[in-house]
Amino acid sequence: MKSRPGTRPRNPAVAPATIASSTAPAPAAAASLAERLCHATGAALVVSGLFHLTVFAVDGGPWYGPVSWRKPVTFGLSFGLTLMAITWVTSYLRVAPRLRTTLLAVFAADCVVEAGGITLQAWRRVPSHLNMETGFDSAVSMTLAVGGGVLVAVLTVFALVSFRHRPSGPAGMPLAVRSGFALLLVALLSGAAMIARGVYLTRTGHQSMAYHSTEPLKPLHGVSLHAVLVLPALAWLLSRTPWSEAVRRRIVGLAVGCYAAAVAAAGVSAVLTY
């Protein structure tokens, strides 16, 4: 086809690709958007936890037990902090941006489902986990159990990436990130053990025993869960000091050892009382 004088001929084979590349979001931009959304979601979950702490102060009632305001408080705070921590810490992993964005989106959605289901049941004044009393309660309980499986899968992928490729970051950060994920796997295993034992006891007709069967593992689960935030945060804070890299690495190594000892002590206690 002839072009008019003074105009540049169009190349139909190149033009569509050029248009597509100019309109498609870059992986880095998509990752940045996902990070902002994850941080906003995590902050909202933290606010929800603090709100329910106020509800507990006004409404009263027991703090412990399967039906209490403690659950939306602790799970809101825990899921919110963990979501923000994972979003930040995974920025040091050597992982494809598209894969990281996808995993973060799944993780954020799952955190909302988990915290939302627990909060819903707290307002209904019924247990959230291991509750098979009605069809609706069973659906909520099974959704939380499946959601727990999704959490395990996503976080395990991130952990494996951290072990396979040395994370980036300032002195001590690679050790902090890898150690944080290693201890997080302990939290995931203890959480899975709590769910498995509770479901077994529920299915065999020991509902009351199922609600209390998780108590021995809760300290182990709680302590090991937040290492992925505490240890990298320490490495980041140390990078703001004038100390040498060797000193910072030794401090992070000492912190990892102390944290691992605390997790081991919680594990021994769980074994002795389980």
204-218 per-position pLDDT tens digit: 877 777 777 778 888
Q: Which of 27-36, 65-74, 127-136, 179-188 has the lowest average pLDDT?
A: 27-36
pLDDT number for residue 19: 38
Question: Does the pLDDT at position 43 exceed 90?
Answer: yes
Query: Can you tell me the distance from the alpha carbon of 66 to that of 271, in angstroms, rounded to the nearest whole number?
Result: 22
pLDDT at 12 over 60: no
Greatest Cα pair distance in the chain: 89
Work out the mean pLDDT of the chain and round it to a whole number: 87
pTM of the model: 0.83
Question: Rounded to whole angstroms, how far apart are CA atoms 59 and 52?
Answer: 10
Tens of pLDDT, residue by residue over 69-122, are 999 999 999 999 999 999 999 999 999 999 999 999 999 999 999 999 999 999
Write the pLDDT tens digit of every residue in 188-239: 999 888 888 887 887 787 777 777 777 888 889 989 999 999 999 999 999 9
One-character DSSP codes across 23-71? HSPPHHHHHHHHHHHHHHHHHHHHHHHHHHHHHHHHH---SSSSSSTHH
Q: What is the pLDDT of residue 46?
A: 97
